[in-house]
Amino acid sequence: MRHSHSAAIVSSSQNIPLTLEEQWTTFLRVEVASGNASDDTLKTYIAHIKQFFKWCRHNRLDPLHLNRLQIKNYRHYLVERMNYKPATIALKLTTVRRFYDCAISYGLISFNPALGIKPPVEKRDPAERINYLERAEVAQLLASLPTDDSVASLRERTLIGIMVLQGCRTVEMHRLKMHDIIRQGNNVGLRVSGKRSIRVVPLTPDLALLLDKYLAARTAAGDRLNDNTPIFISLSNANYGEPLSRRSIQRIVQKHLQAFKQTGTNARKLTTHSLRHTAGTLALRTGAELRQVQDMLGHADPRTTALYAHIADRWERNPALAFGVRIQV
């Protein structure tokens, strides 16, 4: 029996037919990140599969009955027509492969035709993606932040300080709640929920004091803090007290990076993730062990952390410098 694009199963709880996209959404919520995927991650997977469905409709194909050659044609479309980078194509092909896993779990097909179909090879140095601030530039960035003790200013100083000195991700800042503050004697840390794991990030004494000062300012402003209260919150009238969205965190960081870039770093493309790159690069350059930095950043693979060491060594330990030969300038 052939299933059409509108293939559906029946929900046992409500006796309502589920469309293919609804089956996919349900599958994602249960399977991705062991059932704990962020809303942004789910939206990304859903958007990718909608693009795949659109391509199938345009070519009058049933997504449930594609063969390997047809999926390779979709890859060709992503490369030639859409001009996506290999990393983007890799994510889109992963989504397609997971979609067929979903279809198998619902009994709609018996095998996954996308298995083993690989994205194009990345043709650039992985370290090329790493943009970071030098030590003096970090000090300059932190000194440029607002110094008044309003809740908004304290929030921004604490947020950016943690991201650039401890290397925390945007999503980790978004998810933080009061119960994630870890205190052991005089030491303060944050329990952050990363992509696939949970880790404790120790805070420097300055950051710990700044975090307490920010929370005290919120209490003085009338906020009632409990274990489930978000640490970094929106201060807008429309959604005051809600967790600061990932997009809002990016806007805050970009605002300060844009101002900072005007002082001489505009040759680089600095992003929110540049703060994380900065923490990893400077930590290794100033003597931290690879394993320590891997733990701080929450990398599953030490080779990812090693990129930060590589990018720093490239300039400071250029083998040509040891030749002892100079060229006329």
Percent above pLDDT 90 for the chain: 56
Q: Within the chain, how many helices (H) and strands (E) appear?
A: 12, 5
Sequence ranges of the chain with CATH classification 1.10.443.10: 129-316
The correct CATH number of 9-123 out of 1.10.150.130, 3.40.50.2300, 3.40.50.720, 1.10.260.40 is 1.10.150.130
CATH 1.10.443.10 holds for 129-316: yes
Among candidate residues 214, 81, 89, the one with its CA nearest the CA of residue 149: 214
Per-residue pLDDT of 81-129, as tens digits, reads 999 988 899 999 999 999 999 999 889 899 999 999 999 987 666 666 6
**Contact yes or no for 144/152 (Cβ under 8 A):** no
Q: Predicted confidence band at 217 (pLDDT cuts at 50, 70, 90)?
A: very high
Dig out the tokens for 191 from the structure. Answer: 């329990």
| 305 and 167 Cβ atoms separated by less than 8 Å | no
The residues of the chain that CATH labels 1.10.150.130 are 9-123
How confident is the prediction for the chain on average, in pLDDT? 86
Note the pTM of the prediction, 2 decimals: 0.71
Beta bridge partners of 196: none
Predicted pLDDT of residue 195:
67
Residue 262 reports pLDDT greater than 80 = no
The CA distance from 6 to 33, in Å, is 27
Query: What confidence tier does 12 reach under pLDDT thresholds 50, 70, 90?
Result: very low
More confident residue, 17 or 86: 86
Distance, CA of 99 to CA of 112 (rounded, Å)? 9
pLDDT tens-digit map of 285-317: 888 888 898 889 888 888 888 877 777 677 677
User: Is residue 227 pLDDT above 50, yes or no?
Assistant: yes
